[in-house]
Every structure is written in C-alpha cells, then in structure tokens.
Amino acid sequence: MSVAPSEDGPRAAVELSFRGAPLASAEAQRALLDRVVLPPAFASATFDGMVGGVTTGRLRVLQVNLGKTCNMTCAHCHVDAGPHRREQMDDATIAHVITAMDRLRPAVVDLTGGAPELHPRFQELVVEARSRGIEVIDRCNLTILLVPRFRALPTWLAEHGVTIVASLPHYRSRNTDAQRGDGTFTASIEALRRLNDVGYGAGRPDRQLHLMTNPAGAFLAPDQAATEVVWKRVLLDTYGVRFDRLLALNNMPIARFLEWLDGRGGTAAYLAHLVERFNPGAAGGLMCRDTLSVGYDGATYACDFNQMLELPVEDDGRTLNIDDPSVWAEGRSVRTGRHCFGCTAGAGSSCAGATG
C-alpha cells in the first residue's frame, strides 16, 4: 500500500514567480488546462456536467491563507509558496477575518499559507478562534518547528488545543526529500518527536496530529485507510513517532506540479487519468460545499485551489471579500474547472483527505 519512490518524480523547485516562469500566471495555468484534449469518451465532458453542478451547503470551515511566505519550496506546492514570496495578510484583513468568525460561526478555522506560523499574528488568530469555541487547524510543514524562534510553538499549540495537519509525503526519506528538499525528512521526524513529547499523536481530542501524504508523481493517492495502518507501524517501529490520522491527497494540476507535468509533456495524460478515474461517490464530500477560503488580500474562494487559479467567489459578477455580508450563501453555485477532477479521482481528495 506504500507509494513507490519515484526516481523521476517532481523535485523541490524555486518559486515560479521568482523565476518568472510562464506558469506563474494563474491565467496561463487555466489556459493550459483548458487546451488539453481529453480522451474521446470524455471529449466534451465538463466537471459540472459530471457531478451535476456543485452548490454550497452550510458553512463549516473558514480556511484562512495567511500568505505565501514559506521556509520551503516543495515540488507539489499549489500555492507556489517559498522564501522569496512576501505576500502576507495585512492588519485590516486580519480584523475582517476575526469579525467573520462571529458573523459566519464556522466550526473550524483552518490556518494555512505558505507557512502560516510565519505570520506575525498567527497566534493571535488562534486565540481569537479558540475563545469562540472554534476548532483550529494549523497546516504545518513540520520543518518550521525547528526554526529557533519557534522552538516553544509545539507546547503553545498543545496548550491551545490546536489540531495539527502536517505534510509528510512519505515515510521514506528519499521520497520526502526529493519532493520537499534535502534534509526535510530528518527535520520532519525531529519535529514529530517534539509534537509527540507535548502530547500530540496519542489519541487525545485536543492534541490531534494528522499527516498528509501525496503521490511522488503523476498517479493517484493510495488507499487512505490501508496506508494509514502501514505508516503508523513504520513510523512507530523505525522512529518511535506516533500520529492520529493519515490524510491521502491527490496532486492538483496547479502551479509547480503543473509545471512539472507540462515540462515532461504529461499534462494531458494526467488530466485524462483524473477524468477516467472519476468517482461519483467522491463528489458528495467536495470540500467546496462547506468551506470558504480567504486569500491573504481578503478575497474569497470556494477552496485553496480556486484561490491559486484566481477563481474568486462572485455574486452578480462582483468578487466577494471576507468583509462582505453576503460572502456565504447556501445554494450558491461553485465555480469549477478541469483542475476539479483532482478532487473526484480515485478515492477523492480534499484538505481533509479522501472523500469517497
């Protein structure tokens, strides 16, 4: 059930925007996906047509992208985040997000980036959400916890009952280092040990530690439940590390992963693979039905993927910001595109793992 290490899989790469790469533009990414000729059986298929349209239900998750700055440059990063990115949420937008917690009453505030911990008001947002009884997720890249100024962060997160969702592509160092940079695996294990030391990964509801795995190439995520069993055994036996849940995600054909696909002439084949492995059972669990994603500039999106492709939530052609009273409406149509097939392929894929 493990993902075989891929010798020719994507490698950690400097940000597209820093290199001035053509696919740094969201418009260029969308155009590339739209140009692809799908297999004959799906030649005129659209995502909306195959799922019967996607509409919003009741809001559950307010996902806040605090910015694009990150200490890493992972190959699969759909944010095109990295150390050269400077975009960060400003104080006015932070204030709107806090107000939105009261207005929208989400069950979960999901803090992401970039590395969300790098935002100077990260801890303040955690406190604001927790004081309202809202569950908080920190989408943590693990290596950030080894940066000296964040050494006390695991204890602080534990004391505030923050759920940690941490990226770890694979339990083999070769595979993880290839995707995320040399030394990442060793650093990640050290960070996981520190989290275990403060009570994470032992089954406590207020110290949940989830790991996120993604494939090392142009194939789908493995079976989540079966893989979790293997991962738990290997990480405990080999490294003495415990975690609570494994989330298996498909790679989305966006940003750096899309550049890698395109560079090897593999975009059409990957999209065809996603479409051919369409799973109608995964469509019901699409995260865009109950999630509102906020960009660093306050613009809102159905999900983090639409955010990176610059497909904002609109009402009568007007882009809705987080401070707009009508930012969430049940029954609103979700903007979809060909990238969405990544969410319904195989067992389905979302920020919470498999959906099917």
Residues of this chain that interact with ligand SF4 (CB under 6 A) are: 70, 72-74, 77, 79, 81-82, 113-115, 141, 167, 286-288, 302-303, 305-306, 334, 336, 339-340, 343
Residue whose CB is less far from ligand SF4, 180 or 232: 180
In the complex, minimum distance from the CB of residue 5 to ligand SF4, in angstroms, rounded to a whole number: 18
The per-residue DSSP string of 125-140 comes to: HHHHHHHTT-EEEEEE
Cβ 144 vs Cβ 71: under 8 Å: yes
The rounded distance, in Å, linking the Cα atoms of 271 and 47 is 12
What b/e string do you get for 19-51 counting C-beta neighbours within 10 Å, with b at 16 or more? eebebbebeebbebbeeeebeeebeeeebeebb
Residue whose CB is less far from ligand SF4, 94 or 286: 286
Q: What is the DSSP letter of 161?
A: T
The rounded distance, in Å, linking the Cα atoms of 80 and 57 is 30
For residue 116, give both structure tokens: 């969300």
In the complex, minimum distance from the CB of residue 140 to ligand SF4, in angstroms, rounded to a whole number: 9
**178: three-class secondary structure by DSSP:** helix
In the complex, minimum distance from the CB of residue 207 to ligand SF4, in angstroms, rounded to a whole number: 22
Residue whose CB is less far from ligand SF4, 12 or 229: 12
Residue whose CB is less far from ligand SF4, 81 or 294: 81
Cβ 80 vs Cβ 256: under 8 Å: yes
For strand 61-65 and strand 108-112, is the pairing parallel, antiparallel, or unpaired?
A: parallel
In the complex, minimum distance from the CB of residue 75 to ligand SF4, in angstroms, rounded to a whole number: 8
CB atoms within 10 A of CB 118: 20
Residue whose CB is less far from ligand SF4, 141 or 208: 141
Residue whose CB is less far from ligand SF4, 334 or 354: 334
**196: three-class secondary structure by DSSP:** helix
Residue whose CB is less far from ligand SF4, 25 or 46: 46
In the complex, minimum distance from the CB of residue 250 to ligand SF4, in angstroms, rounded to a whole number: 10
In the complex, minimum distance from the CB of residue 43 to ligand SF4, in angstroms, rounded to a whole number: 21
In the complex, minimum distance from the CB of residue 182 to ligand SF4, in angstroms, rounded to a whole number: 14
In the complex, minimum distance from the CB of residue 336 to ligand SF4, in angstroms, rounded to a whole number: 5
The rounded distance, in Å, linking the Cα atoms of 273 and 278 is 9
**Burial category of 342 from C-beta neighbours within 10 Å (exposed 0-12, middle 13-18, buried 19 and up):** buried
Residue whose CB is less far from ligand SF4, 113 or 298: 113
CB atoms within 10 A of CB 330: 11
* Residues near 196 by beta carbon (within 8 Å), at least 6 away in sequence: 202, 209, 240, 241, 242
